Amino acid sequence: MGPGSNPSNLKGLSRSRHYRFIRGDLSDYKTTRRVLKDADYVVNFAAETHVDRSIANPLPFLRSNVVGVYNLLQAVRESRIRRLVHISTDEVYGPIESGSFSEESLLSPSSPYSATKAASDQLVKAWSATYKVPAIILRCTNNFGPKSVAVPGSVAGLCLALERFGTMELADVLREPTAG
């Protein structure tokens, strides 16, 4: 886990039968495949993050954001996953002087971070079209909340496999057509 990951933020989930924490790396295909074995849904937040870190050393970004997503997609193909939700970033659109982007906007990444995220988005789209992987892409501006970390870091290796969740609200959200 990267410097931005904090396992103590997940302690409240440990009492749920729908939750399990597995320390792993998406660039390790065997681990990825094992984690998805009994899952129905996958929400992929895994990524190396922060533009400055990607400029200083792009290799971890290629490993996590490209190779890791490739492994995840291959594992999803071999499983019975009902939906993959791939969390991306608005950074894939590049800089904007005014206005806003839409899902139809061209991708124009401007850093190693955004380039690897754009590459992973394209892999998800290709696997969805070619292999019928049931996937959607969400391009968020930023993810933050009460347990956010204010220092540069990553959530590399965090892949939430939601096993047999069963709640209607989650199932409905995962079925909604969005970017992708």
Structural domains of the chain ordered from first start:
24-175 (3.40.50.720)
pLDDT at 111: 95
113 a catalytic residue:
yes
pLDDT at 122: 96
What is the arithmetic mean of pLDDT over 155-175?
A: 37
Choice among 25, 70, 113, 121 that is catalytic: 113
Choice among 19, 28, 90, 163 that is catalytic: 90
The structure's pTM equals 0.77
Q: Where are the alpha helices (DSSP H) in 45-111?
A: 51-56, 59-61, 68-77
What is the arithmetic mean of pLDDT over 71-99?
A: 92
Q: Where are the alpha helices (DSSP H) in the chain?
A: 29-36, 51-56, 59-61, 68-77, 112-131, 168-175
- Token duo for residue 140: 């968020």
Largest CA distance in the chain: 47
pLDDT at 4: 58
Which residues have a Cβ under 8 Å from the Cβ of 6 and sit 6 or more positions away?
147, 149
78 a catalytic residue:
no
Judged against a pLDDT cut of 60, whether residue 67 lies above it is answered with yes
What is the arithmetic mean of pLDDT over 113-122?
A: 96
What is the arithmetic mean of pLDDT over 86-101?
A: 90
Q: Provide φ and ψ at 33, rounded to 5°.
A: -65, -40
pLDDT at 128: 95
pLDDT at 169: 39
Cα gap 71→36, rounded to integer Å: 11
Choice among 40, 91, 93, 121 that is catalytic: 91
